[in-house]
């Protein structure tokens, strides 16, 4: 059992294969562009960002016993993650995420093969229950099965550990519907929020209504990100607020949401209020988008504070 303070991240680790066109995106055509291969996975991206922000991070995740899996474990350790409890699966391929960006850097399509992440199951989490109970915070992404997510949330809630959730995609967001009363902070984007809210989000007013709905379901704080339109946030007992997005140099938006919630966790553990957490999230996203990779090495606590001071 770990003896000093740590954040526990439970979620996916995968290889990201990204393509970006050099010209406007045209359906059913072969376009000139660039292709990159980088480590990724929402859980991993958040974990690495938290490590860069100065936190000790333990991760419960799963990879295959293939070249990609062992490469991801090595790169994770080099990034400062404690992966001593990671699950290595025999005969199961490491999860892969493939995405397509247009020539402006906006992600248009993405497909995730979560073969390994599906094995972050209840049995594996039960074997590591003490890690959940002993954490200073738990971050859940929605790559694991729904029953495993609910199991981890229940253990954390009973131990008084704050629970942070990133729904990661509209296809997987419903996995957390049953645990909303246990959640400290949730950070859905527009598409994920529509699943949890049950209605289309077409305007800022709709976004505010969605935030109010999730607060009514029991979540303590909601940060609904809207891409370039910023974030709509709410907390129990506080007024709903909207902060516009901020960008200095847009290169790639694929990891912006991951950096946002990492910065919110960082600010939360420092005792910040909702408004300061919103500013931290927006600042982190603006730094994240300035690199081709899903995690910007420049996103450190010092640089985050500097960016917060100018937005």
Q: Tokens representing 50?
A: 């938290």
Q: Which helix (H) or strand (E) holds 43?
A: helix 42-52
Q: Are 219 and 211 in contact (CB under 8 A)?
A: no
Per the model's pLDDT, the better-predicted residue between 291 and 162 turns out to be 162
d(Cα 55, Cα 81) in Å, to the nearest integer? 10
The confidence score (pLDDT) of residue 216 equals 98
**Distances from the Cα of 256 to the Cα of 135, 162, 250, angstroms:** 25, 22, 11
Per the model's pLDDT, the better-predicted residue between 36 and 196 turns out to be 196
pLDDT single digits (tens) 73-110: 999 999 999 999 999 999 999 999 898 989 987 889 98
> CB neighbours of 29 closer than 8 A, spacing ≥ 6?
none
pLDDT single digits (tens) 15-33: 988 899 999 999 899 999 9
pLDDT single digits (tens) 122-141: 999 999 999 999 999 999 99
- Mean pLDDT for 113-120 is 91
Q: How confident is the model at residue 3 (pLDDT cuts 50, 70, 90)?
A: very low
The confidence score (pLDDT) of residue 53 equals 98
Q: How confident is the model at residue 294 (pLDDT cuts 50, 70, 90)?
A: confident
d(Cα 296, Cα 252) in Å, to the nearest integer? 10
Closest CA to 43 of 70, 71, 67, 62: 62
Q: Are 76 and 52 in contact (CB under 8 A)?
A: no
Q: Are 211 and 222 in contact (CB under 8 A)?
A: yes
Q: What burial class does residue 174 get, using C-beta atoms within 10 Å of its C-beta: 0-12 exposed, 13-18 middle, 19+ buried?
A: middle
Please say whether the dihedral angle defined by the alpha carbons of residues 72, 48, 96 and 24, taken in this order, is positive or negative.
Answer: negative
Residue 11 has a CB neighbour count (10 Å cut-off) of: 26
pLDDT single digits (tens) 239-282: 999 999 998 898 888 789 999 999 999 999 999 999 999 999 99
The terminus-to-terminus CA distance of the chain in angstroms comes to: 41
Residue 64 has a CB neighbour count (10 Å cut-off) of: 21
Question: Which structural domains are found in the chain, ordered by start?
Answer: 7-308 (3.40.1190.20)
pTM over 0.75? The answer is yes
d(Cα 162, Cα 143) in Å, to the nearest integer? 19
Q: Which residues pair with 225 in a beta bridge?
A: 189, 231
> CB neighbours of 88 closer than 8 A, spacing ≥ 6?
62, 63, 64, 65, 69, 73
């Amino acid at each position: 059992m770990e003896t000093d303070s740590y954040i526990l991240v439970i979620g996916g680790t995968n290889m990201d294969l990204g393509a970006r066109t050099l010209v406007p995106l045209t359906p059913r055509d072969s376009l000139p562009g660039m292709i990159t291969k980088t480590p990724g996975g929402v859980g991993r991206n958040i974990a690495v960002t938290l490590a860069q922000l100065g936190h000790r991070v333990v991760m419960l995740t799963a990879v295959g016993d293939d070249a990609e899996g062992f490469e991801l474990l090595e790169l994770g350790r080099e990034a400062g993650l404690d992966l001593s409890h990671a699950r290595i699966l025999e005969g199961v391929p490491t999860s892969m995420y493939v995405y397509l960006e247009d020539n402006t850097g906006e992600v248009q399509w993405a497909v995730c093969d979560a073969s390994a992440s599906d094995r972050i199951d209840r049995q594996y989490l039960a074997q590591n229950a003490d890690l959940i109970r002993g954490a200073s915070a738990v971050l859940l992404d929605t790559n694991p099965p729904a029953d495993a997510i609910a199991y981890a949330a229940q253990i954390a809630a009973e131990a008084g550990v704050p629970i942070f959730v990133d729904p990661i995609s509209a296809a997987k967001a419903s996995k957390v519907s049953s645990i909303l009363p246990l959640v400290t902070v949730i950070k859905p984007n527009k598409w994920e929020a529509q699943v949890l809210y049950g209605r289309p989000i077409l305007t800022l007013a709709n976004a505010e209504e969605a935030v109010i709905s999730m607060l009514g379901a029991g979540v303590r704080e909601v940060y609904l990100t809207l891409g370039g339109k910023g974030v709509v946030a709410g907390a129990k007992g506080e007024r709903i607020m909207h902060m516009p997005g901020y960008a200095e140099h847009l290169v790639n938006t694929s990891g912006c949401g991951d950096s946002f919630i990492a910065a919110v966790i960082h600010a939360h553990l420092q005792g910040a209020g909702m408004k300061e957490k919103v500013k931290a999230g927006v600042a982190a996203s603006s730094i994240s988008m300035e690199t081709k990779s899903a995690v910007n090495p420049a996103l450190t606590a010092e640089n985050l504070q500097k960016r917060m001071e100018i937005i």
